[in-house]
Amino acid sequence: MFYNCTSLKEAPELPATWGASNCYRSMFEGCTSLIKIPPKILAGDLQQQGGTCNRMFYGCTSLKTANVVIGTWPNDGSYSDMFNGCISLESVSDLGTFNHVGGSFQNMFNGCKKIAKAPKFILNNVTGSSPCLNMFYNCTSLSDISEIKLNIKNLSANTKGNTYGGMFYGCTALTHVPKDFLPATTLVASCYNSMFYGCTSLVDAPDLPAL
C-alpha cells in the first residue's frame, strides 16, 4: 500500500480487528523516512490469518521506536521480517505471552543493529516449524535478553524442527544467557541449530537439561 513511499514520516492507525492473509504485508516496506508509528497502529489482540504483518516495516531505516501491540494468537508468518533491516531501531514494546505460534517470528528483528535490550517475549507453546528462526539475527548491540522466556519443555510435542535456529546468530554484544534459558528436556531436529553462532562475547551459556 505504501511500499517505497520514501518521504512518508508517520504511519496511520489501522483499526481493523481481523486480519486476512497478508493484509498488511509490506505495507510500509522501504519507507526510509518513517520515524513515527502510533501506539495503537494495530488494534488490540488482532485476530489474524497467516502473514498478516509480514515485512510490514521492512527496511524502514529511520525508525527508532516501535510501540506496537501485536496479537497473541499469530498464525504462520504473521510477524516474520516485520522489522527486518530497521537499522536505527532502538526500542520495541513488549511482544507478550504466546501459547500458539507457528513460523510467526522468523527474522522479525534481523539486522536491527541498535537494539540493546530484547522486548518481553514469553513462549509457552509452538506449532509448526522454525517459529523463531533468525529472530534477532545480527543484532550486534543486543546485550540483554532477560525478558525472553522460552518455557517449552517438550519441543517434539508440536514442533517440526529448527525451533530456535539462528535466533541470536551474530549477536556480538551478548555476554550472558540465564542458566535456565533452555528448559526443554525433549528435543526435536535442529532445534538449537546455530542459535548462538558468532556470539563472540558470550561468557555464560545456558544449561542443556536434555543432554
User: Confidence band (pLDDT; 50, 70, 90) for 57?
Assistant: very high
User: Confidence band (pLDDT; 50, 70, 90) for 93?
Assistant: confident
Closest CA to 153 of 118, 196, 106, 191: 191
CB under 8 Å to 113, separation ≥6 — which residues?
Answer: 87, 138, 139, 140, 141
User: Confidence band (pLDDT; 50, 70, 90) for 43?
Assistant: low
pLDDT mean across residues, the chain: 88
Q: What is the pLDDT of residues 8-31, one digit of tens each?
A: 999 988 877 666 677 888 999 999
Q: Per the structure, how many domains does the chain have?
A: 1
Q: What is the pLDDT of residues 180-206, one digit of tens each?
A: 999 999 999 999 999 999 999 999 999
User: Confidence band (pLDDT; 50, 70, 90) for 160?
Assistant: confident
Quote the domain boundaries for residue 205. 1-6+13-211
Q: Within its chain, how far is the Cα of 1 from the centroid?
A: 23
CB under 8 Å to 120, separation ≥6 — which residues?
Answer: 94, 95, 96, 147, 148
Residue 47 in this model has a pLDDT that exceeds 60: no
Q: What is the pLDDT of residues 97-135, one digit of tens each?
A: 887 677 789 999 999 999 999 999 999 888 778 889 999
What is the percentage of the chain residues whose pLDDT exceeds 70?
88
The model carries a pTM of: 0.92
